[in-house]
Structure 1
């Protein structure tokens, strides 16, 4: 297994670990930092999700009476990109850089909220969040088996949120813009490996990252009611969550290897609160929050055909966030099935590609929705939602 162990360890972490619970779009793996010698890679994924359900539509002549209306597909397709560089400075010290986009979402749908036509005043959502994360790592290898590493992460975060809805024939728009902010966090971990058995394991902790951001908010009504038209420009605090990753792989025969991961993310402490809406409340009003922490796991098998080509197959499970069904959380966790392949072009250059299918669990329906994500439109039912994730990676050893 020794001759192919390196190839497999790069291949198994194909760039398809996206669309997990809450806002997560990356499992924040540090597997590339554990590769031998010097290594660089670039990866990209395309996510095509089919997520929809039914929401409540007020009757035109009796706004207190609601009927169901389809949301259509309200998660827009998106791309994500990662890049990494690892340098072996000497037999005992290594350094690396990892760029990724760990948290993101792009939710949008409109059920024709037109002010001049009460028949069409229903509900509309646009929620877009982007992060960019650059992690610098340094590792110490006292021997060939152990690697003790630590590092700093520099993260940027920006968000746009708009919620429109009808109430008694009145269209109310809420708009919130969190200006781009950058902040730092840290990580640390330990790895144990035995290359002759293709054995590699790592345990990594990442801290939360606290952003202090300028939050511009506005509430407007149509027709205009001055007492309800409000604006605010204040600072607020958002903390992207802490996490723990356990990753492993080991050879089981000359041509087969099993691999897997277990990940915990502290989403229960994540909140985006509104200073404007909270001004008349004793407790902060959360625009976005989650009820439970996330647990996810992956288990896979790699088969080595020859020195050039390796294939992989894996299954996965994500626990979800525990929120009731809404346009913020239409699903609650998922099961996944993925296949991939890895091809050595030469001794220095390789290409890997993979596809993953995600079958989402239906979030619980809660007619009188309060608490987590309650400002988003509640769903009266959830469809059989799923997604396809397509990934490609190019790596260079030097």
Structure 2
């Protein structure tokens, strides 16, 4: 016999729509770090699949069109919990809490050759000689090569004259008094010429190295790209208390793994164009803690959950073609590659989950989330060292940082239509993490609206599905120096979710 669809289980119909974050809507938030699986009654398990497709287009400061940079992505979330007895509960949750996926293409300042940046570097090195661009550098190299060739020719002629004079003296010693002054003068001239030639060759080598660097940068046809991935496993132990066991405290350890790849290309990044970083996977640990309250007779549940910051001490391999040139300008010895430690602290967060019955067939829900992205930064060491040269201070720049904290709010209603079927709808708002914001994720929050449904297939098994439409806030993209490099307007996206769940009480 099919079980009735009780009011207190209507929340399952809404949970499939609880993907209240989208990549870079605020910081790197993705999953919303939902824990509602642990708050279900009895033994409960779920598997959730989420697919997100965003359309993020704009223009660079030159007026060039920027095609969609937001790569579609998907992720899974799993959860299982059970009641050990009427006091203690245990659970394990898996999700992918933080991430980013942006890829620039087309004809704009985030793709290809950084002509302006290369010309600026040439001007800083050779401006006192009237050379301010690549063509001027090529002309200078060609002229220097001609001078070296002419000097070598003159030296060869001088060597031949000295050789002939020495041969004549060898054959006829009587010529010694006449030819010796000429031979000595010739040898002195050859020595001076060789010194001048060596100095000229050293200068030519430096010019040719700068030309090779410029040619390498100008031959670059790649686009800016970023990919950040994370995985998290949370173990939770809960203990109920109160006269009716209406309160519960819970907490446990969190294991989190992160990795990232960043590639900066195009003239928008100026001297930083060509920078590449690979942050190797790293696993570190934090914790979760919370308290909940329930009143089953009116389907009321409220939970306040805190997740700690997690400090990752990872390894980063950086490639920065301009590093040596920048270091030379400041009298520093900076390499073009570096493999070193990097500290990345994924932020703490607070989630509030609330639901209550309105009438015997209707449930109201609310979710609120806070994440202090203003405290977050990614600061690779080589990038930071080079930026100290351009900013002329001891602090330098972070590769990624945000100005504001993130707030998310979602309100929903669920309605039971039949004993086996319920539908839900919700609206949401995300504050974003500031505007202007990093060009690697140029969205200032969003508004959303969603619909979903849950169907009880059997007494214990159910399937839920839902979708959301998202209106992204307009944003200006900036590089770490706070220079505005792009403008993104009138963008949107959608989210689709499917959940399979099992519950036994």
Scaled by the length of structure 2, what TM-score is found?
0.70
Contact 1:244 1:265 in 2 (8 A): yes
**Equivalent-residue separation in structure 2 for 1:211 and 1:171 (angstroms):** 25
Aligned equivalent of 1:283: 395
Distance (Å, rounded) in 2 between the aligned partners of 1:168 and 1:210: 29
What is the number of residues matched between the two proteins?
Answer: 380
Q: Does 1:385 align with 2:491?
A: yes
Shift of 1:113: 1.2
Deviation readout 1:235-272 (Å, 9 max, x if unpaired):
01110000111110000111111101111101111110
2:342 counterpart of 1:347: no
- Hey, what's the Cα distance between the residues in 1 that align with 2:258 and 2:483? 24
- Distance change >3 Å, CA 323–CA 394, structure 1 → 2: same
> For 1:202-351, what aligned pairs fall within 5 Å after superposition?
202-220=303-321, 230-279=336-385, 281=388, 282-351=394-463
* Deviations, residues 174-228 of structure 1 (Å, cap 9, x unaligned): 011111000000111111111111111101111100000111111126xx99968
Partner of 2:234: 135
> 8 Å contact 1:55–1:377 — kept in the other structure?
no
Partner Cα separation in structure 2 for residue 171 and residue 324 of structure 1: 19
For structure 2, the 5+ residue unaligned runs are 114-213, 329-333, 389-393
The structure carrying a bigger strand percent of its residues is 1
The corresponding residue for 1:17 is 20
Structure 1 residue 163 displacement after superposition: 0.4
1:93 aligns with 2:88: yes
Q: Which structure carries more helix by proportion?
A: 2
Aligned equivalents of 2:317, 2:44: Cα separation in 1 = 43
1:190 and 1:396 mapped to 2: Cα distance?
Answer: 24
List alignment gaps of at least 5 residues for structure 1.
57-66
* Matching residue within 114, 122, 125 for 2:224: 125
What secondary structure sits across from 1:276 in the alignment? helix
Paired residues of 2:94 and 2:234 also in contact (CA < 8 A)? yes
Please give the TM-score of this superposition, normalised by the length of structure 1.
Answer: 0.89
Instruction: Tell me the equivalent position of 1:27.
Output: 32
Which has the higher Rg, Structure 1 or Structure 2?
A: 2
Instruction: Name the SS of the counterpart of 2:459 in structure 1.
Output: coil
Deviation of 1:123 (Å): 7.8
Residue 7 of structure 1 deviates from its aligned partner by: 2.5
Question: What's the counterpart of residue 113 of structure 1?
Answer: 112
RMSD: 2.7
Structure 2 Cα separation of the partners of residues 134 and 186 of structure 1 = 10
Q: Indicate how the Cα distance of structure 1 residues 376 and 213 shifts in structure 2: closer, same or farther if over 3 A, else same.
A: farther
Cα separation, 2, equivalents of 1:117 and 1:164: 13
